[in-house]
Amino acid sequence: MCRHLGHVGPRPVTLASRVTEPSHSLLVQSYAPADMRGGGTVNADGFGVGWYSDRPDTAHSYRQPVPMWTDASFLDLAGAVSSTAFVAAVRSATVGMPVSTGACAPFRDGTRIFSHNGVVRGWPGSLRDLAAELDTETLMTLEAPTDSAVLWALVKRRLDAGKDPADAVADVVTRTLAAAPGSRLNLMLLTPSVSGAPTLVATAVDHALSWRSDADGVTVASEPLDEQDWTAVDDLHLLVTRDATTVEVAAL
Ligand code: GLN
């Protein structure tokens, strides 16, 4: 299963400070993950980062369908780009799903950034009824024919309807679990706030997730990035931080 991380903080940090530099960075987790729970061995089918820029209402992303360690230009630019909010992911494609740029998390719609670590069991049939709420054009223009792309479309639809980001993610997770029991649904969503810090939401559903907070902000990651004091998120729980400082964890 893929690995991902999200970070929100009061001041910019480099992407490299979370993605490539720590002793168990996302880069290391791409070739030597520690807690895959039987879902694959390495995360070499692509990677991506989506980050907020210092200009208001502006985000960027970079994705490639290659192992992160092979992209020397990315490894270089990760040290040059600083941001107060970002999501990064390395991918292990689920069997039957394509390897392409559009299938790499994080997915981005303007300043909304999303990642899925896991699998929808019984795909695609199990999601048929839930996906029926999406209009035909949305389904025709998905970035990739993957479970993650459909989950993203379902989350987006709820955000478009004005749902709170945590409620939108929780609703998609609980409905998907009901339709496809046994699914692994570690979702992550970064959205801008109307006032103050961006909101970062992450779920733990049958996969690893930990978080850590310090003066630089809150970081949430599939696996602890280093030897410091990370807190594991219990299974079937949702984590949210709305102020880049305080973390709330609640049962789904
Ligand atoms: N099922 C998703 C995909 O194939 C996520 C994969 C994963 O978490 N390993 O992109």
Query: Quick check: 114 and 105 in contact, CB under 8 A?
Result: yes
* 56 CA to centre of ligand 1 in angstroms: 31
> pLDDT for 46-84, tens place per residue?
999 999 998 888 999 999 999 999 999 999 999 999 999
How far, in Å, are 3, 91, 170, 194, 237 from residue 199 at the CA level?
20, 23, 14, 10, 17
Residue 36 pLDDT: 67
∠ Cα 150 121 135 (to 5°): 25
To which H or E segment does residue 179 belong? helix 165-179
Q: Is the CB of 48 inside a 6 Å radius of any atom of ligand 1?
A: no
Here the CATH number for the domain that contains residue 153 is: 3.60.20.10
Distance separating alpha carbons of residues 116 and 133, to the nearest angstrom: 20
Residues of the chain with pLDDT under 50: none
**Ligand 1 site-directed mutation target among 97, 100, 115, 209, most atoms within 8 Å of CB:** 97
Domain that holds residue 45: 3-251
**Ligand 1 site-directed mutation target among 2, 127, 187, most atoms within 8 Å of CB:** 2
* 80 CA to centre of ligand 1 in angstroms: 28
Ligand 1 atom with the smallest distance to the CA of 43 is 9
- Which candidate, 79, 65, 62, places its Cα nearest to that of 25? 79
Residue 69 pLDDT: 97
To which H or E segment does residue 153 belong? helix 147-160
Ligand 1 atom with the smallest distance to the CA of 119 is 1
Distance separating alpha carbons of residues 235 and 238, to the nearest angstrom: 9
Catalytic residues: 2
Q: Is the CB of 104 inside a 6 Å radius of any atom of ligand 1?
A: no
Residue 199 pLDDT: 96
Distance separating alpha carbons of residues 103 and 144, to the nearest angstrom: 5
> pLDDT for 119-134, tens place per residue?
999 999 999 999 999 9
- Structural domain total, the chain: 1
Residue 1 pLDDT: 59
The torsion defined by the Cα of 125, 4, 6 and 17, in degrees rounded to 10, comes to -160
Output the pTM of the full model: 0.96
∠ Cα 31 37 40 (to 5°): 45
What residues are paired with 26 via a beta bridge? none
Residue 124 pLDDT: 96
